[in-house]
Amino acid sequence: MQTFFMFGKYSAQALDKISSDRTRKAINAIQKLGGHVKSVYALLGDNDLVFIVSLADVGHATLASIALTKMTGISFKTSPAIPIDQFDKLFNGKK
């Protein structure tokens, strides 16, 4: 499983439909793709929320991003994340 950060930006229509029920449905959609939601945060700034999820691969992350956008009206930018210890090993191996 790989970790992905899914950054969401609300549309005006998506703001009107904020609810714990929609959040639960979004989490269920990720789980149906074989994923696990590690955490969800509301944010201030350029993004309005972030889902931190584990999914099998980039393809599944793409499907999750599309599914959530279609379901919620929230646009998502999804980024893979590498644990810092793995990043350090990769970087040190390139010197």
The domain ranges of the chain are 2-93
The CATH superfamily assigned to 2-93 is ACT domain (3.30.70.260)
What's the mean pLDDT in 63-84? 95
Q: What's this model's pTM, rounded to 2 decimal places?
A: 0.88
Q: What is the dihedral of CA 45, 37, 78, 19, to 10 degrees?
A: -50
In this structure, are residues 54 and 35 in contact, taking their beta carbons and an 8 Å threshold? yes
Residue range 29-48, pLDDT digits in tens: 999 999 999 999 999 999 99
At 40, the amino acid letter reads: V
